[in-house]
Structure 1
Amino acid sequence: MTRLTRREWLAISATLAIACERSQRSSDTRTPRRVVSLSPGTTESVFAIGAGSRLVGRSKFCDFPAEAAKLPSVGGFVDPSFEAILGLAPDLVIGVQGPGGRELADRLSQRGIATYFPGTDSFAEITAMLHGLGERLDSSAGAKRVTDDITAQRKAVAKALEGRPRPRALMVFGLRPIVVAGRGGFPNEMLTLAGADNVVTSERYPTLGVERVLALDPDVVIDTTGVAGHKTEQLHADLPGWKELRAIKEHHLVVIDDERVMRPGPRVGQGLVVLAKALHPKVSIPS
């Protein structure tokens, strides 16, 4: 067996020490300290998992929690200011999949800035997004707590609605033109879990004419356009042909202006409870 000289041992020890130091530096930089978030859902999520102190910038649409609104804005998600983002010196930029996301991620990567743009178009993807943020921001325990809450709220709704009749629903995002929720995607899943069946069979977010809406004949219309309640009812009544809709005649119009219902993020379980209660007002659903 070959014996190492003292000089060789010292050389090896020095090499190992340098390697450990480099490894520690690499480990330190692996957890981002300056994060810019470009979507309301990811901004909420960072705060919800307990990593809000790492946020240094947001999109102009990020308004919850209140602390988020105090952060510098870098513009919208589709058209953020690249210079404003760089000016905040982030080591991680987050958002969701959407228009311009891939191009922005590529430009940031060229500058050595890490990005995370996950899908959030289903409960499963929202859960994965939360865990992904937890892993990146050293907040896995916080992410698990949030996702456990979402799971508990889903189960509570499912239990409360078990065996209940399922109304045929039309979820509306716009009235001029009429834009609705189709099959596939997050809004359709919310409808299904909230105890309703979507009357629209086409994919994603189709635009429909009044004649088509009349033919679909939903039991209930869910308006998510964000207009104040009584004004929304008047708007529906004034739309040409719309007042002939059975759901409107029978006053089965549900106005949803609660952002939790349509914002894929940590409060999605709460949003599901809100929607389920609106669709099934006589059913006791724990919040």
Structure 2
Amino acid sequence: MKSGLRTWAVAARLAACCFVAGVGALAPTPARAQAGPMQSDTAPTAEVQPPAARAITLAPHITELIFAAGAGDKIVGTVSSSDFPAPAKAIPRVGDGMNANVEKTLALRPDVAIAWLPSGAAQTLAPTLSRMGIPLLYSRPRTLDDIPAEILRFGKLFATESTALPASKALQTRIAALRTRHIGSKPVSVFIEVGTSPLYTIGKDPLLNDALRLCGGVNIYTDTAIAAPQINAESVLVRRPEVIIAPTANGIRLNEVRNRWTALHLPAALNGHVYGIDPDAFFRPGPRLIGAVEALCSYLEQAR
């Protein structure tokens, strides 16, 4: 079940939702994935009188960002997929990314709720939160630089700037180092495999394409109209990527991906350029994405 939810989640996050991906029956239809943008990425923190003390997070990356800002102890409720860092596992659950229990949420007496977009769980809670005068904010990083910026934002919201500022600066430094290191690097074409049943990839997703550009990578499906297109193997063979990125930190799973593309005689696989990245780090727009991008850049360097 976790694999199926992850497959749906990555396509939904890339089309406009929030989690991480594998493959399964819950993957969205192409029609669902083509849904347009829903509203601005963030709501002004002025709606909340800082410091906020009791927060509900409705996406795992938001939980990670708030912990990075030093305010993890302010989260009183979250969704089932919030599993990092380790203390997040002990936070009471109010639902998953698609649904939330209104009664459980109100019982936790939040003074702010923070979501990815006004769909799913946020849409369920929004009318009640509005009636109760509880602000509903949004966090949707679109570039790598937005991630440290969000940490600072949450530091201000929860009055934990003393932790958020150095954490933000540390990530900014790492991003800047990658940008400097790979300026002028030879472009490398990349295929990011999201799942296999059916086969999804990364398309017009601003955040992950920003990550690829930082490394000198070029997404072979960046010209698609949606963020998580369903494709077929023949299309990948025609586009001939130089590198394949698989969403796995498991060696056995990575070998399966490598063997599958090798059997299809894809040059990237024949040349040994199939690499795995932890999907939780790579597909969640939180602090761990920076480490995943550092790994991505090193893989593209090997391919060069």
Q: Decide: shared fold, TM above 0.5.
A: yes
Residue of structure 1 aligned with 2:224, choices 198, 202, 212: 202
**1:262 and 2:283 equivalent?**
yes
Q: 1:20: which partner in 2?
A: none
Paired residue secondary structure (2:204)? coil
Q: Which has the higher contact order (CA 8 A, sep 6+)?
A: 2
| 2:164 match | 143
In the other structure, the counterpart of 2:3 is none
1:59 aligns with 2:79: yes
Q: Name stretches of at least 5 consecutive residues in structure 1 with no aligned partner.
A: 1-27
Displacement of 1:221 in angstroms is 0.7
* 2:81 matches 1:71: no
Q: Which residue of 1 aligns with 2:22?
A: none
Amino acid in the other structure paired with 2:234:
E
Q: Specify whether residues 268 and 144 from structure 1 end up closer, same or farther in structure 2 by C-alpha distance, changes over 3 A only.
A: farther
2: CA distance between counterparts of 1:268 and 1:43?
Answer: 14
AA at the equivalent of 1:231: R
User: Do the aligned residues in 1 keep the contact of 2:50 with 2:156 (CA within 8 Å)?
Assistant: no
Local SS of the residue matching 2:94: coil
Q: Distance in 1 between matches of 2:157 and 2:274?
A: 42
Q: Aligned match of 2:107 in 87, 97, 122? A: 87
* Corresponding residue number in structure 1 for 2:243: 220
**1:195 offset after TM fit, Å?**
2.4
CA shift in 2, pair 1:148/1:56, >3 Å: same
Say which SS state the counterpart of residue 244 (structure 1) adopts: coil
Provide TM-score, normalisation by structure 2: 0.75
Whole-Å separation in 1 of the counterparts to 2:158 and 2:263: 49
**What is the aligned counterpart of 1:234 among 230, 236, 256?**
256
CA 1:242–1:147 in structure 2 vs 1: closer, same or farther (change >3 Å)? Answer: farther
CA distance in 1, matches of 2:191, 2:163: 36
Distance 2:103 2:138 in 1: 19
RMSD: 2.5
Deviation at 1:113, TM superposition (A): 1.5
In the TM superposition, what is the alpha-carbon distance from 1:98 to its structure 2 partner? Answer: 5.6
Distance 1:194 1:222, change over 3 A: same
Listed one character per residue, the Cα deviations across residues 96-147 of structure 1 (whole Å, up to 9, x for unaligned) are 1263234533331222222211222322443443233222211234333222
Measured in 1, the distance between the counterparts of 2:192 and 2:113 equals 32
Q: Aligned pair in 2 of structure 1 residues 106, 242: CA closer, same or farther (>3 Å)?
A: farther
CA distance in 1 between partners of 2:257 and 2:66 (Å): 37
Identical pairs, percent: 26
Counterpart selection for 1:211 from 234, 255, 264: 234
Q: Which residue does the alignment assign to 1:159?
A: 180
Q: Which runs of 5+ in 2 are unaligned?
A: 1-47
Q: Report how far residue 244 of structure 1 moved.
A: 2.4
Q: Is the alpha carbon distance of 1:106 and 1:146 closer, same or farther for their aligned partners in structure 2, counting shifts above 3 Å?
A: farther
TM-score of the pair, normalised by structure 1: 0.79
Flag the structure with larger Rg.
1
Q: Which letter does structure 1 place at the counterpart of 2:189?
A: R
Aligned positions of 1:188-199 closer than 5 A: 188-199=209-220
